[in-house]
Structure 1
Amino acid sequence: MRNVAVPAAVVLAGVLGLAACGGSTEGGDQTVRTADRGAAPDGKTDTPLANTDPCSLLKPADVPELSQKSGAAAKTAGRWCQGSGYGIFISEVDLKGYFGLFKNPTVKPIPDIAGYPAGTIEVAASGASTCAVLLAVTTHEVVTVTADTCDIGRKAATAIAGRIPR
């Protein structure tokens, strides 16, 4: 597997740019049904991964296709984890950013992953392609998994979804 650092950085910049673009929160959006469960009665929004090391969310055995080399541990930089052939980013967004991501035409909706709304973005840069899988933990917290293919990204996102505290 190749290192996806450069394409992952491009995807991450695009994802964050999409979140910054915002979008409408009107119109009875069905996607919010699962993601909004983090809202507390006092109006504060729960971010269950706020103090989580993103590298702790994925183990080598979870997705053998990542061909993680022994001794080549993933590196954490804040809310970003870079491994061999993948990346994980935990981002906090407001409702406008959430709808900007999940209502953007570049995000292809996919079936929920472990009850979390999900979508994919495929990006080709510098002759390499990367897929970002977006996983809406709540309407205020999104996990982005980058991988060489969307199939591998979905497998990684599924493993990650199983480690999100409920």
Structure 2
Amino acid sequence: MTMRRVAMTATILACVLGLAACGDSDGDKGTGGPGNGAGGSSAAQGGSTGKGKTGTPLADVDPCTLLKPADVPQLSQDNYAQPTKLSIPGKPTCSGYDFAVEINDGGADVHDMEFNSSRAKALSDISGHKAVMTQTTTGSARDCAVSLDVTAQEYVRVTVTAGDNPTQTCDIAKKAAEVVAGRLSS
């Protein structure tokens, strides 16, 4: 069982790092309009879509403050696997045992890809944030990610890796995204 957890955690980290490499190209930098780089508030104000909103309201937000394992009982509650903040340029990430929360400020093009790709399945708004879901299977590991729109350039992705019951992964990811959206809107 421990080896399985290590493999799942490695899969999440590989996905996060792989996505980080995709978003750091020169074409993603310098995008944006008048508010690019502006501080804004420490929490997003919501809205059904981020189009029209600019700036980086999540610039100083620690992703580990957005979701704790105790917020969603289906996430691992093991004390030895506390969430850890990873420093990935443009994508601060909090990696827990079976989940990750990533704040993405990759610009309008990366934002558009996240919400309009053929893999993205539209969900109902979550606490006023446009939401999409994607599922990935790598070998025997399966994960489900829910992305929440914040501005035209920023979004938050909550990824949950399948535990003992892979059929519930997306339900758990949606619950985790609801917690994160609530904290973004407060």
TM-score under structure 2 length normalisation: 0.70
Deviations 1:62-91 (A, max 9, x none): 101002212432110121111121011111
- Structure with greater strand share of residues: 1
Matched with 2:63 is 54
* Paired residues of 2:93 and 2:100 also in contact (CA < 8 A): yes
1:106-145 superposed matches below 5 A: 106-145=119-158
Q: 1:68 aligns with which of 52, 77, 86?
A: 77
Aligned residue type for 1:153 = A
Q: Aligned-pair distance for 1:14?
A: 4.9
1:1-166 superposed matches below 5 A: 2-3=5-6, 4-12=8-16, 13-14=18-19, 17=22, 34-36=49-51, 39=53, 45-78=54-87, 79-147=92-160, 148=162, 149-165=169-185
> Which structure has more RCO (C-alpha within 8 Å, separation ≥ 6)?
1
CA distance in 2, matches of 1:65, 1:140: 31
CA distance in 2, matches of 1:113, 1:33: 9
CA distance in 1, matches of 2:179, 2:21: 23
TM-score under structure 1 length normalisation: 0.78
Structure 2, unaligned runs of 5 or more: 29-46, 163-168
Q: Aligned-pair distance for 1:36?
A: 2.7
* Paired residues of 1:55 and 1:88 also in contact (CA < 8 A): yes
Aligned residue type for 1:134 = S
SS of structure 1 residue aligned to 2:183 = coil
Q: How many residue pairs get matched?
A: 151
CA distance in 1, matches of 2:148, 2:124: 11
Q: 1:16 to 1:90 in 2, by over 3 A?
A: farther
Q: 1:33 to 1:165 in 2, by over 3 A?
A: closer
Task: Give me the CA root mean square deviation.
Answer: 2.7
Q: Aligned-pair distance for 1:137?
A: 1.3
SS of structure 2 residue aligned to 1:47 = coil
Q: 1:124 to 1:103 in 2, by over 3 A?
A: same
Q: Aligned-pair distance for 1:95?
A: 1.9
Identity %: 34
